[in-house]
Amino acid sequence: MSLAHSSSPGASPVPVRNDWTRDEVRALFDLPFSDLMFEAQRVHRLHFDPAEVQISTLLSIKTGGCPEDCAYCPQSAKYDTGVRAEKLMSLDAVLAEARAAKASGASRFCMGAAWREPKDRDLDRVCAMVEGVRALGMETCATLGMLTPEQAGRLKDSGLDYYNHNLDTSPEFYGEIITTRTYKERLETLDAVRAAGIHVCCGGIVGMGERRDDRIGMIATLASLPVHPESVPINMLVRVEGTPLAAEAALDPLEFVRTIAVARICMPKSVVRLSAGREDMSEEMQALCFLAGANSIFYGPKLLTTPNPGRDRDMALLDRLGLRPMER
């Protein structure tokens, strides 16, 4: 029996709004947990098959040595985390990883490079990678730092489907986490990506010491963009020794689930990705996140440089929950 896109009889479609106020987002966070979960699941079923989860694989194609000072990031050259600066991977090596990801069930292949922004000569090589991955029949995503409109256009011409550029947190808390790139610069890159015709992947990180008001501010900002991001990754902070946030207290798991649910309600047609931090989440917590409207995960033992559950564990969990990989 299929319950795809099911909802209560006579349910009306959820309008997509781009004018969410912080008070409205706060009211969702303040709902009793059962009411919030019910509404998130209702919205989710109006737009997605509740049994499908989109599977992506993320590969670090250029690791370490980043000049930025993002307080959560082990790839920053400013922190001693044991991550060494490496050169950009070869085309053949990247395509070999993409073939393995496809064989393991991934439908989207994401490539991340630890740059503030790509140099044009590096972009030439990344564009060749995008073309090669597309030729394998996979969706493509890249996260390379800030982009100019011209660079975004080149990536579009190479066939890039998605570009990831997270806002990370609220405008007010942002300066506590990053000083080498402004919030305005992040928004400008999103504008360049959108203008080039590339789908936007944009979310944030929770558990960095921010208040609930900052989680509210982040979601209100995302949900008030002229077009919602097609993909919204919600990351739980991975505390890495050597970074300024290594000793940050863990976020209440139910607060994380609330964040997923509110993102689902405010951005009803976006794919909400349960991203970094799953290695530290119980299976029960992940199950609640799926119930709250998360319908995408990163697949494989590592996300850039941090641990992630193995493929076998993920597939066993999805099977126990009656979930299946989303086809492209």
What percent of the chain stands above pLDDT 90? 64
**Where is pLDDT greater, at 51 or 279?**
51
Structure confidence at residue 8 (pLDDT):
43
Q: CB-based contacts of 32: which residues, under 8 Å, 6+ apart? A: none
- The 10s digit of each residue's pLDDT in 240-267 is 999 999 999 999 999 999 999 999 999 9
**What value, to the nearest 5°, has the Cα angle with vertex 63 and ends 245 and 68?**
50
Q: How far is CA 235 from the centre of its chain?
A: 7
Interatomic CA distance for residues 171 and 39, integer angstroms: 27
Structure confidence at residue 12 (pLDDT):
53
Supply the residues annotated as catalytic. Answer: 66, 70, 73, 110, 141, 201, 273
Cβ distance 178 to 171 under 8 Å? no
Q: What average pLDDT does range 5-9 have in this prediction? A: 44
Neighbours of 197 (CB within 10 A): 11
Instruction: Tell me whether strands 306-307 and 302-303 are parallel, antiparallel or unpaired.
Output: antiparallel
